[in-house]
Amino acid sequence: MSNKENEQQSYVGEDLKALLAYWTPERIKNTQPVKSPNIRNGIKDTKHSSQYVNEIEEIVTLASSEPDDGGDRGVPDKVEDVNAFPYCCAGKIVATHEDGKDYHGTAQFVGHCRMVLTAAHVVRNPTTGEYYKNIVFLAKYKEDPDPSYETFSFEVIQTHDEWIGENRAYDYAFCRTKKTEPNYPKWLALQIGIPTWQLMAIGYPGKSGEDPDGSTMYKVNGVIGKHGGGIVEMKYNPLEKGCSGGFWMKPSIPLLPVVGINSYSPDNDDSIEISPLFDQQTIDLFNKVLDVSSEEPRRCD
């Protein structure tokens, strides 16, 4: 049965102790990567209903609009220090799907000390509308050789209703951490539009027993490709499975805010990742999940 009307999932009553007991280091290590699904027909195969998208697309820059920073492209590289900014804001996000198996994607704190951004397909089934179970965020996750991370659970997770039916222009979700947990000390800014043609993406590709094996955060540099219909390409981004939800931003200093996430790849080119093109609807969903009008507004110390 479809759960399309249940657009927001509450986890207020969920027992953090039970979640911590479930997510043992061994279970986390053995999660399957959420595969970045393929797009048949690539960038053209999508629809977007936002009244803002045409205006936002004008912000996407062309290669001639800024100098080339000369960085290597298309070559994934391990992030050696996950405690360094901006990588310290990111980590693994894990969940149990309806098939009973455990999966991992990538997520990051954005815009606020309690707000986490990831791909919608990491946390919610686009066919049934059901949210997955046992969802936690493991900030600064790394196995070196033993796993180290900070665990955060959520009281609210939400996607747009339009995600049901797998509308790729809405493949993002915001998650608010429980108020009983400490504020995270650092987070990334969030921006609509993409005011740069050079990008860096991060993620946790692979699974245990493979190379890469999902144990380490990777980064890769690429460039803007085609855009339209509420989605945008990043060329030279071969991170694939496990990278879903990982941020896109400018690779050089000064770092720009998060302008996209790993979402999907064309079925004929695994060196391309596609992101929803963030617009005012993205900010509206962020504010709704943050609940800034609450009698207990969420403040960062």
Q: How many CA atoms lie within 13 A of 108 on its CB side?
A: 32
The whole-number average pLDDT for the span 246-272 is 87
Confidence at residue 24, expressed as pLDDT on a 0 to 100 scale: 94
Residue 267 has what pLDDT? 80
Q: How much is the average pLDDT of 116-121?
A: 97
The mean pLDDT value for 232-253 works out to 91
Give per-residue pLDDT as tens, 192-228. Answer: 988 888 999 999 998 777 777 889 999 999 999 988 8
Compute the distance between CA of residue 270 and CA of residue 62 in angstroms, rounded to an integer. Answer: 22
Read off the pLDDT band of 291 (50, 70, 90).
confident
**pLDDT the model gives residue 46:** 54
pLDDT in the model for residue 172: 98
Rounded Cα distance between 94 and 151, Å, is: 11
C-beta of residue 109 within 8 angstroms of C-beta of residue 91:
no
How sure is the predictor about 87, in pLDDT bands with cuts at 50, 70 and 90? Answer: very high
Say if residue 77 is exposed, middle or buried (CB neighbours under 10 Å; 0-12, 13-18, 19+).
Answer: exposed
Cis peptide before 212 (omega within 30 of 0): yes
Specify whether the CB–CB gap between 265 and 36 falls below 8 A. Answer: yes
- End-to-end C-alpha distance for the chain, whole angstroms: 42
**Model confidence at 10: pLDDT above 90:** no
Q: Is the pLDDT of residue 41 over 50?
A: no
DSSP secondary structure letter of residue 123: H
Per DSSP, what are the bridge partners of residue 153?
Answer: 136
Distances (CA, A) of 238 to 7, 40, 122, 190: 32, 17, 18, 23
Structure tokens at 225: 């490709």
DSSP state of 197: S
Q: In the predicted model, is pLDDT for residue 229 greater than 70?
A: yes
Residue type for position 112: H
Tokens of 102: 């455990």
More confident of the two residues 40 and 237: 237
Which residue in the block uniquely carries the two structure tokens 């290669």?
63
Q: What is the pLDDT of residues 138-174, one digit of tens each?
A: 999 999 778 889 999 999 999 999 999 989 999 999 9
* Average pLDDT of the residues of the chain: 85
When mean pLDDT is compared across 1-15, 38-52, 66-80, 175-189, the lowest value belongs to 38-52
**Mean pLDDT computed over 103-118:** 96
Q: Domains for the chain: give ranges and CATH numbers.
A: 8-34+86-187+281-290 (2.40.10.10), 38-82+189-278 (2.40.10.10)
Q: What is the pLDDT of residue 177?
A: 92
Average pLDDT over residues 16-31: 90
pLDDT of residue 181: 78
CA proximity to 205, closest of 88, 92, 288: 92
Cα–Cα distance, 159 to 294 (Å, whole number) = 19
Across the range 231-241, mean pLDDT stands at 92
pLDDT category at 11 given cuts 50, 70, 90 is: low
Lowest model confidence (mean pLDDT) among 37-46, 53-62, 71-80, 168-177: 37-46
Higher pLDDT, 266 or 68: 266
Instruction: Report residue 180's pLDDT band, with 50, 70 and 90 as the boundaries.
Output: confident
pLDDT at 8 over 70: no
Q: Per the confidence metrics, is the pTM higher than 0.75? A: yes
Q: Burial level of 166, CB count in 10 A (0-12/13-18/19+)?
A: middle
